[in-house]
């Protein structure tokens, strides 16, 4: 079927690009795919609910449930397993452990599953009304499948999963008129995992750019609150340190695009597939999100772009579970990619451009 007559494809931001810009984007897409195929992610991603970090977090929550103080427990368990206590970011903030201590492992699992379902429904509701079959069904399937890992027993221990689900839900429920719940969800994400802190700044900056000063101030107030909580966390960690406590080797490793692909494999859809498939679908998913119109997609791609750009330089191979931060959102971009590709091809070739389309030259 000719591209210009496809009834299932909705126009994207790319429909009005100049031929030069469209060709440049297509070339960039091929470079990312080629780089990923040349250097695919190695090994299996992290995220097991058994052993390593997961066992550490379970033991900490279990001892807190018995009435022991969080920071005393953290210090003891980190030393017992030879885990670093310095810098303070090597120690997780207490919110998740204290919540799990109250609910128990089964209750924490149930709460995560409920949050995953709500996040999936929210994401689908934001996209489905503007998608036509079969892309609407693809978005539903991709969103549901990406949350598959989050419903496995024992996965509640991963702070990054909670933060990723809360960010996805915060994005889904935010509108220009109703954003209070979104701000609260974003603050909870940052209080669980400091890697979600930039989300508060991105949302505040986006609201300011849109002219919604009141919303922007609410996001910046949430960022200030999250900063205060993180500072208090640093003080509490410092209080339990002893001379000779191990220090983290650091996270500045310059893992590059290969590390980003390793993070992307944390999605449930990609876990069981060969690594080379990740090299193809990850750039396509990013392309799909970047092309989709509207404030919701703009905020999604801004957050995905910030995380993945940061992780080009930060993150060790054993930090591959960081991919849980964007796992609820990234795969859904594949459902948006066909429309993006169609409009890029149209824009690159004047003969295929729809009549009357306005060309953006800057």
Q: What is the pLDDT of residues 184-217, one digit of tens each?
A: 999 999 999 999 999 999 999 999 999 999 999 9
pLDDT classification of 163: cutoffs 50, 70, 90: very high
H or E element in which residue 327 lies: none
pLDDT for res 51: 55
Calculate Rg over the CA atoms of the chain.
21
Burial class (CB in 10 A: 0-12, 13-18, 19+), 130: middle
Q: How many helices (H) and strands (E) does the chain have?
A: 14, 0
pLDDT classification of 49: cutoffs 50, 70, 90: very low
% of the chain surpassing 70 pLDDT = 90
% of the chain surpassing 90 pLDDT = 78
Residue 56 has pLDDT above 60, yes or no: yes
Phi, psi dihedrals of residue 202, rounded to the nearest 5°:
-60, -45
pTM: 0.92
Q: Which of 96-100, 167-171, 246-250, 352-356 has the lowest mean pLDDT?
A: 352-356
Residue 48 has pLDDT above 60, yes or no: no
The Cα 265–Cα 277 span in angstroms is 10
pLDDT classification of 7: cutoffs 50, 70, 90: very low
pLDDT for res 351: 65
Residue 331: CB partners within 8 Å, gap ≥ 6? 142, 143, 145, 146, 267, 269, 270, 281, 285
């Amino acid at each position: 079927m000719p591209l210009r007559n496809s009834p299932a494809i909705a126009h994207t931001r790319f429909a009005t690009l100049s031929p030069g810009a469209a060709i440049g984007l297509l070339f960039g897409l091929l470079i990312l795919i080629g780089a990923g195929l040349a250097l695919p992610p190695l090994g299996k991603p992290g995220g097991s609910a058994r052993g390593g970090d997961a066992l550490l977090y379970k033991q900490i929550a279990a001892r807190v449930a018995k009435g022991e103080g969080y920071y005393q427990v953290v210090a003891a368990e980190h030393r017992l397993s030879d885990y670093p206590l310095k810098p303070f970011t090597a120690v997780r903030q207490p919110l998740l452990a204290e919540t799990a201590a109250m609910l128990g492992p089964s209750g924490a699992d149930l709460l995560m599953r409920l949050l995953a379902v709500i996040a999936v429904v929210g994401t689908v509701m934001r996209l489905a009304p503007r998608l036509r079959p079969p892309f609407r069904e693809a978005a539903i399937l991709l969103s549901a499948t990406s949350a598959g890992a989050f419903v496995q027993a024992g996965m509640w221990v991963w702070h990054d999963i909670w933060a990723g689900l809360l960010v996805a839900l915060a994005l889904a429920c935010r509108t220009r008129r109703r954003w209070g719940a979104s701000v609260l969800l974003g603050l909870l994400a940052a209080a669980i995992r400091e890697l979600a802190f930039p989300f508060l700044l991105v949302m505040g900056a986006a609201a300011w750019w849109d002219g919604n000063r009141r919303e922007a101030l609410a996001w910046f107030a949430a960022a200030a609150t999250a900063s205060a909580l993180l500072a208090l966390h640093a003080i509490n960690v410092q209080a339990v340190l002893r001379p000779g406590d191990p220090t983290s080797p650091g996270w500045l490793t310059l893992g590059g695009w290969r590390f980003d692909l390793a993070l992307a494999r944390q999605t449930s859809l990609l876990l069981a597939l060969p690594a080379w498939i990740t090299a193809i679908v990850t750039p396509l998913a990013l392309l799909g999100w970047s092309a989709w119109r509207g404030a919701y997609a703009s905020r999604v791609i801004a957050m995905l772009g910030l995380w993945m750009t940061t992780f080009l330089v930060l993150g060790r191979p054993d930090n591959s579970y960081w991919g849980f931060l964007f796992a609820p959102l990234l795969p859904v971009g594949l459902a948006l990619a066909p429309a993006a590709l169609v409009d890029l091809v149209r824009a690159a070739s004047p003969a295929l451009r729809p009549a009357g389309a306005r060309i953006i030259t800057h």
